[in-house]
Structure 1
Amino acid sequence: MKIILSIIFIILNIYASELIDSTTCKGCHPTIYGEFYDSSHRKASIFENKVHKAMWDLHPDKQKESYTCATCHTPTDLELLKNLEENKKAMPENNNVQTQEAISCVYCHSIKDVENHAKANKNIISEEKKVFYSANENNRDQKNKSFKDEVSFFGMMKEKSGSPFHKIDYSNDNFYTGKMCMGCHSHMQNDNNFDLCRMDEKGAKDEETNCISCHMPKISGSATSIKITKEHRFHGFASGSKNQDLLAKYIKIDLKENSNNFEVSIKNEAAHNLFLQSLRLAQLKVSILRDSKTITLDTKSFARIIGKDGKPTMPWIADSEIENNMLKANERRVINYDVKLQKGDKVEVIFGYYTVNPKMIEKLNLQDDEESKKFNIIFSKFFYAK
């Protein structure tokens, strides 16, 4: 960990004084900046993310005054990284970097490559000043693309490309496959060499379907004010905690009537297990509206519970899975209901999740946080019995 922190600090320090503030990007990318500002990247620190703060408040490293979460949660805080590398007191302070720049625009667009390691991967940051990586199929062969204001058709038509404030490198394959996300979103092991989470990296090799295509889908609106485009990649980062509606299309649910019962099928079409964080709890809720009465059926839960000695524990203590019935990548699961449907029955099927498993709310002292206790609906549909 010390070696990783040292390398990250040295490289990041190269561009620390230039374009480190994401509000600089806002001038040319107002729509994208607005999305980023409300994203889990901007809100990754303990000052903006209540669940992360709740976990940190219980973490043993807090007593050691060593915020080891910084490499992924606040990599823009260079002073904090430096203190970690030098084994000094390294605690987050309520400053502009922590609250506005936790994972900044510059940081993500400077990820040159990702090194694979057993406990956690490491981002390799570019050493080039004012050269940022991006993806554009039409310019993929271009490195260090500069700003151009071209005039054509007898001076009547103008076309702009590039940026007047920095160069753009469109040649980095990692920005087309999603590998640039794998530095922080691949896997994480605790001191027991136990996987707290692990992403199937196959989803970061396919250029058609990957982290970017799912979590940063193309939506309407221009990427920049310099050259107007019809679409841009969404920078609010659809996830289990934000903008879940953009991920709903990867959950397919159907109902099938049988002679004496019925079944509900649910398919996870994502390239990874449905929810990777062990705090999440997904649920399938089914009810029947019959003759103005509502029949509520048993709720089906999906979770990955980790712990030790057969009992659930906090992540840093866990050394095994206690239970795991979470939907796997591309898995279709059928749930049978021993109820005979009658003609005219209206069956409501709801699928959603809790950001924090209700059983953990009190343990994390989140009783007053409504977002943590909220049931987030991903899918809701009425089926009519024939």
Structure 2
Amino acid sequence: MKLLQIFIMVLFITMNLNAEDFISSNTCKACHPTIYGEFYNSSHRKASIFEDPIHKAVWDLHPNKEKESYTCAKCHTPSDTKLIQKLKENKKAIPEKNSIQSHEAISCVYCHSIKSIEEHEKVNTNVLTSEKKVFYSANEDNRIVKDKKYKDEVSLFGMMKKKSGSPYHTIDYSNEDFYTGKMCMGCHQKLQNDNKFDLCRVDMKGAQDEEKNCITCHMPKVKGTATSIKITDKHRFHGFASASNNQDLLAKYIKINFEQKNDSFEISIKNESSHNLFLQPLRLAQLKVNVLKGNERIELPTKSFMRIIGKDKKPTMPWLANSVVKNNMIKANENRVIKYDYILKADDSIEVVFGYYKVNPKMWKKLKLENDETSTKFNVLKSEFYKGE
């Protein structure tokens, strides 16, 4: 029965491969159903203007739209190779709604083909392998293996047999970038506009430590097998925890504490991540604190945290910005303490809510997102209750 299942899988994969030159992520689903399901709900799958309303709103105002040059494709839709080729040839390149744009803007094959990262001033470049059907992955037990192929592994004097590798592709476990998280830095490390101003930047040091990096935080190990061929207890989460998806997996890196004083109290927010709490300049983080006195609810002033970019001390769209207008975002490993001049009584309770908007409310109208649920929703990261003493 097992051999029949494997034969059917290989037949399905071969049919899909012969049907089109582009290797669809749907092909990967045959052997990696759990991972594919996570990927399909991820921001990687939804990175195009057809799936991400915020990205589309920014693109609709971008001057490159009039020039018909979708330069965002390098990171937002790299799987659309026809569009990428048009950009390379300086031809008109506007995204067209197709299966790639809708279902795998950043595909499984694309990420697992990243051989190395070229660092550049404005934005880095992913260097892809030229070897066909050789994909990079991480496995601590096989990290010196460069050409893992499908085979039966025999142990205990031939009594135990188990499948190893993939019947479809070779696996290279030796790429160090897949252990340190550097393979993410082609798109996520930095982006400069034409004014040579950093729209966002992450310290490359965050992709050097194997114990704590982009992958360990945003792709933590979760329960479930990585493949249907060889059953494993855990696998790397391919839903890519972020402000867009599965932010609960990142909430553990935020610690909230309460301390009562004689004439006041303090709320501290500790950011235990290796980068500033939010990197995208559209984000707005907020701390909301309420005092509960029996049936009475007293709302204390909301504290906001943001990084606003602009020009001439005024907020602007990213392509016009040349400076930081305001930045009080909680930094990497910072413990931010906020004092409230409020005297608490023994029966008082404190409700502390920390969360964020994906789009700063002041930008909703400009981007025509005032009716978009994902933009206008306040996302709760942490909620705590404390008692007065």
Q: How does 1:1-16 map to 2 (within 5 A)?
A: none
d(CA) in 2 for partners of 1:49, 1:72: 14
d(CA) in 2 for partners of 1:287, 1:373: 22
Residue aligning to 1:277: 280
Residue aligning to 1:230: 233
Q: How does 1:17-32 map to 2 (within 5 A)?
A: 20-32=23-35
d(CA) in 2 for partners of 1:244, 1:223: 22
Which of these residues, 21, 28, 37, is aligned with residue 34 of structure 1?
37
Q: How does 1:346-385 map to 2 (within 5 A)?
A: 346-385=349-388
Q: How does 1:237-316 map to 2 (within 5 A)?
A: 237-316=240-319
Residue aligning to 1:165: 168
Deviations 1:120-164 (A, max 9, x none): 001010011110000000000100111111344465422111111
After the TM superposition, which parts of structure 1 deviate over 6 Å for at least 4 consecutive aligned residues?
Answer: none
* Segment drifting more, 318-327 vs 150-159: 150-159
2:62 corresponds to 1:65: no
Q: Which sections of structure 1, spanning at least 5 residues, go unmatched?
A: 1-15
User: 1:252: Cα distance to partner?
Assistant: 0.4
Residue aligning to 1:96: 99
Residue aligning to 2:322: 319
d(CA) in 2 for partners of 1:104, 1:290: 52
d(CA) in 1 for partners of 2:93, 2:297: 55
Residue aligning to 2:198: 195
User: 1:353: Cα distance to partner?
Assistant: 0.1
- Answer whether contact 1:222 1:230 (CA < 8 A) is retained: yes
d(CA) in 2 for partners of 1:210, 1:17: 36
d(CA) in 1 for partners of 2:164, 2:23: 23
Alignment RMSD, CA only? 1.3
Deviations 1:12-64 (A, max 9, x none): xxxx9656200000000000000000000000000000000000000000000
2:208 corresponds to 1:208: no
Residue aligning to 1:334: 337
User: 1:291: Cα distance to partner?
Assistant: 2.6
Aligned to 2:288, what secondary structure does the other structure show?
Answer: strand
* Segment drifting more, 158-167 vs 133-142: 158-167
Q: Which amino acid aligns with 2:226?
A: A
Deviations 1:95-125 (A, max 9, x none): 0111112000000000000011000001010
Which of these residues, 131, 136, 146, is aligned with residue 134 of structure 2?
131
Which of these residues, 162, 177, 187, is aligned with residue 184 of structure 1?
187
* Segment drifting more, 43-52 vs 289-298: 289-298
d(CA) in 2 for partners of 1:20, 1:309: 47
Q: Which amino acid aligns with 1:215?
A: H
Q: Which amino acid aligns with 2:243?
A: G
d(CA) in 1 for partners of 2:222, 2:337: 33
Which of these residues, 140, 145, 158, is aligned with residue 142 of structure 1?
145
Q: Which amino acid aligns with 2:344?
A: L
d(CA) in 1 for partners of 2:22, 2:231: 23
Q: From the superposition, tell whether residues 299 and 320 of structure 1 become closer, same or farther in structure 2 (CA, over 3 Å).
A: same
- Answer whether contact 1:145 1:168 (CA < 8 A) is retained: yes
User: 1:172: Cα distance to partner?
Assistant: 0.2
- Answer whether contact 1:19 1:106 (CA < 8 A) is retained: no
Q: From the superposition, tell whether residues 18 and 158 of structure 1 become closer, same or farther in structure 2 (CA, over 3 Å).
A: farther
d(CA) in 1 for partners of 2:133, 2:294: 67
Aligned to 1:203, what secondary structure does the other structure show?
Answer: helix
Q: Percent identity?
A: 68
Q: Which sections of structure 2, spanning at least 5 residues, go unmatched?
A: 1-18
d(CA) in 2 for partners of 1:154, 1:113: 41
Q: Which amino acid aligns with 1:29?
A: H
TM-score (ref. length: structure 2): 0.94
- Answer whether contact 1:46 1:52 (CA < 8 A) is retained: yes
Which of these residues, 48, 52, 55, is aligned with residue 51 of structure 2?
48
User: 1:88: Cα distance to partner?
Assistant: 1.3
User: 1:191: Cα distance to partner?
Assistant: 0.3
TM-score (ref. length: structure 1): 0.95
Deviations 1:298-340 (A, max 9, x none): 0000000000001000000000000000000000010000001
User: 1:200: Cα distance to partner?
Assistant: 1.2
Aligned to 2:250, what secondary structure does the other structure show?
Answer: helix
Q: Which amino acid aligns with 2:318?
A: P
Q: Which amino acid aligns with 1:196?
A: L
